[in-house]
Structure 1
């Protein structure tokens, strides 16, 4: 985080704007309708009447001195002369104010973010002063989806806050109450301008408020790019009390979760299960029975080599409500990111997802079927057995010259794509010194990754 956005109450706050141009008027408009005491100095004369805010302070056509700035909390300086702006900033700072100098961030203490104003609810978007137009564009997109009734809804919640806290002392139950209030009929009544009815609905909910039963969501986190999370996965993460995650879930995805959710790491690597599977399932059951909303967050899709099926069965046996949120599985994401079509009219009429790590004592892969022509193999957990896998496929009839691709950290900023042929698959893995999760692709379509890399090189040149 490069900038920190703090909310400053405007009641009993003195705000000073210095300047006569459009930049000064833009700062004035921010505070129209606010409870702040706004003082405006226009030393260069008044702008055209048509440009003035519909309501606001009368301009003082003078340059302020130290006495004029005394007691100010925020001072906005929008004057052309840089030396004069710097002088005013020092005076304001000496008076104890925080200073914003328009278009000269180095002279000020803070930059003005792009605001979405919903009265009690204010959303701010900041870029540290580096890209104000980008912040403005983001504000427009967010503003379009935020209802105008957010402010009145928050105001009503503020009026009932103490009553709710007294009536429902349990923190978890209290949070459940507010979630029902903000997402149900009460919010709808506020939206149609019926605050009295909304208040009655909230009080009705309060009378029946009680801790809810816990629930488990088994959620696919996708391949690592947080923008590949599904909307449902994002919503469930935002509502989670506890997040039980594995090692394939990067911090960029966890950052999309509710900040105060507990995070429990149960990562596994080959031959090193930090928490055995049965203990993970017991932990999920324990947290759900304690009334928590549990998210079991798994890389890729939980039902594709993710043991999600085992966890689903365990929750059902324990009588715990459980839901599954699918994710973008790694084979799809890694192939797409590397430019590998999994099927192709000329080269592959089928695709097979297979793991190179069969269960100890389990059935070995059917290499004769996997070595068949006109198909793409997407091999999960295959780096450690790459040489053995290649030898088995070649022995079953697959050509040594079959194209292969290794995609490490697919869809992430540090993605790597290594290409070659099947007879050298073990060597490719050994020379690559892989440190991140990797998928192996075998088949004629794997050659497309090399072609894509050539195109990228030509474009860069």
Structure 2
């Protein structure tokens, strides 16, 4: 019958640890121990290339000889990784005599300790061991499931220790006066702000760090176009503040948003500013970072997937394609097109993406044509990109506004983009020429090189796909 195990969190920082053996398993254990701050000595006659590299960099000390009993003296932990049952058992015996815990990699039952299957999510460490005898596949599978749930933001990761509750912080933004330890970028400390890019709106396309930070928040200040579905998964005690903007209607001014972030952080709360797309692409994230810094509030930024690329990709339209489009020009659609914007539309190898331009679609397309852009330029609009209701309208630039109106484009998540004339010319029908990706396929084509292929596309090949696309959010 297996012994009942006790799972402990052991601090090895600055403490000596002995690793016996220097093969691939020992190398992995060395990396984990060094990352934990241990002072690692490896004893083995020969060493694998990885252990040699660790020793050369000064991260471990390699003693090139057979292990002896005295090597166990004075260490806090022993890892026996020789792969030789007799040697590993002997090392375990020496450790037992000296009351030092020993992990035997080849046979966990021989040692006095086991290495759990672990995962780190923010400042939470998950460990799984089995009481029913060593079972690495089982413990690893359970660890992966638990870690996946945590990284998906399905559980509250905010600290709830006495002295760190929301509203009890010092307001310094450092989180040090209440004993909160220094943490990495996946930890949201009291009195700090994280600007989180939510991507296109599909929660599954958010980054792992975004979900982990969101699960630690006391307050979430959110846009209307972000991945708002994830808000339903937050704990009941999390305050959600909606500051989203509708076309032409600003519910909260930018100064008001800045004030909210600073005020909540100064009250010692963990604040997530959840934004659609990427915070630094037409998201005013830079302004919010500057406001936090001016107020002495610590702030971090988590990039998000921008719709300037992702929405077109979701519609099967590459914004760049070798031999056809080599550049991407991104435009804010709230104002008029600049001379640079119009010039980009006329360039043969530039794809122009207009974000937040649906309300002004008719105005923008009319200006482009008036200023000399070919009205036959292929264009596309993508609605609710990556979401279940995604829709795509493809049409020549001069007809795009009418086509969108006929398709019912009043939804505020519609935007448009115009590709370069390097794309296939659009027919007067409802759809434009095929995407270069569609035409290229995965291997050689009859057209030969990408440049010859691009030439054949420009010649006006017709098909079911457009050559450029429109993201729906920044």
Q: Please, what TM-score do these two structures have when normalized by structure 1?
A: 0.53
Counterpart for residue 384 of structure 2: 409
Post-superposition shift, 1:241? 1.0
Counterpart for residue 44 of structure 1: none
Q: Is the 8 A contact 2:344 2:350 kept in 1?
A: no
Partner Cα separation in structure 2 for residue 257 and residue 222 of structure 1 = 18
Q: Is the 8 A contact 1:215 1:294 kept in 2?
A: yes
Counterpart for residue 143 of structure 2: 143
Higher helix share: 1
Q: Does 1:441 align with 2:417?
A: yes
Q: Is the 8 A contact 1:401 1:422 kept in 2?
A: yes
Q: Which runs of 5+ in 1 are unaligned?
A: 1-32, 34-115, 124-136, 148-160, 185-211, 456-461
Residue 347 of structure 2 aligns to a residue whose secondary structure is: coil
Residue 369 of structure 2 aligns to a residue whose secondary structure is: helix
Change beyond 3 A, Cα 1:289–1:426? same
Partner Cα separation in structure 2 for residue 229 and residue 320 of structure 1 = 25
Partner Cα separation in structure 2 for residue 333 and residue 308 of structure 1 = 19
Q: Residues 3-28 of structure 1, C-alpha deviation per residue, up to 9 Å, x if partnerless? A: xxxxxxxxxxxxxxxxxxxxxxxxxx
Counterpart for residue 290 of structure 2: 313
Partner Cα separation in structure 1 for residue 138 and residue 317 of structure 2 = 33
Counterpart for residue 362 of structure 2: 387
Partner Cα separation in structure 1 for residue 413 and residue 220 of structure 2 = 21
Partner Cα separation in structure 2 for residue 346 and residue 281 of structure 1 = 44
Counterpart for residue 277 of structure 1: 254
Q: Is the 8 A contact 2:333 2:354 kept in 1?
A: yes
What aligned pairs does 1:124-163 form with structure 2 within 5 A after superposition? Answer: 141-144=141-144
Residue 359 of structure 2 aligns to a residue whose secondary structure is: helix
Q: Is the 8 A contact 2:358 2:412 kept in 1?
A: no
Q: Does 1:251 align with 2:225?
A: no
Residue 252 of structure 1 aligns to a residue whose secondary structure is: helix
What aligned pairs does 1:187-206 form with structure 2 within 5 A after superposition? Answer: none
Residue 383 of structure 1 aligns to a residue whose secondary structure is: coil
Q: Please, what TM-score do these two structures have when normalized by structure 2?
A: 0.51
Task: Tell which has more relative contact order, 1 or 2 (C-alpha 8 A, sep 6+).
Answer: 2
Residue 351 of structure 1 aligns to a residue whose secondary structure is: strand
Match of 1:424 among 383, 399, 405: 399
What aligned pairs does 1:217-236 form with structure 2 within 5 A after superposition? Answer: 217-236=194-213
Q: Is the 8 A contact 2:166 2:190 kept in 1?
A: no
Partner Cα separation in structure 2 for residue 276 and residue 181 of structure 1 = 33
Change beyond 3 A, Cα 1:397–1:262? same
- The range that moved more, 282-291 or 427-436, is 427-436
Q: Is the 8 A contact 1:237 1:258 kept in 2?
A: no
Change beyond 3 A, Cα 1:349–1:181? closer
Post-superposition shift, 1:146? 5.6
Residue 314 of structure 1 aligns to a residue whose secondary structure is: helix
Counterpart for residue 215 of structure 2: 238
Q: Is the 8 A contact 1:242 1:294 kept in 2?
A: yes
Q: Residues 177-199 of structure 1, C-alpha deviation per residue, up to 9 Å, x if partnerless? A: 9x988999xxxxxxxxxxxxxxx
Q: Residues 292-319 of structure 1, C-alpha deviation per residue, up to 9 Å, x if partnerless? A: 1111111000111111111112112222
Q: Residues 329-369 of structure 1, C-alpha deviation per residue, up to 9 Å, x if partnerless? A: 1112101111110011232111111011139xx97764234
Q: Residues 215-267 of structure 1, C-alpha deviation per residue, up to 9 Å, x if partnerless? A: 11111100011111111111111111100001102432324545532110011
Q: Which runs of 5+ in 2 are unaligned?
A: 5-116, 118-125, 129-136, 148-159, 170-174, 184-188, 425-431, 439-462, 466-474
Q: Is the 8 A contact 1:241 1:262 kept in 2?
A: yes
Residue 221 of structure 2 aligns to a residue whose secondary structure is: strand
Partner Cα separation in structure 1 for residue 434 and residue 282 of structure 2 = 25
Q: Does 1:340 align with 2:317?
A: yes
Change beyond 3 A, Cα 1:383–1:231? same
Change beyond 3 A, Cα 1:448–1:225? farther
Q: Does 1:399 align with 2:399?
A: no
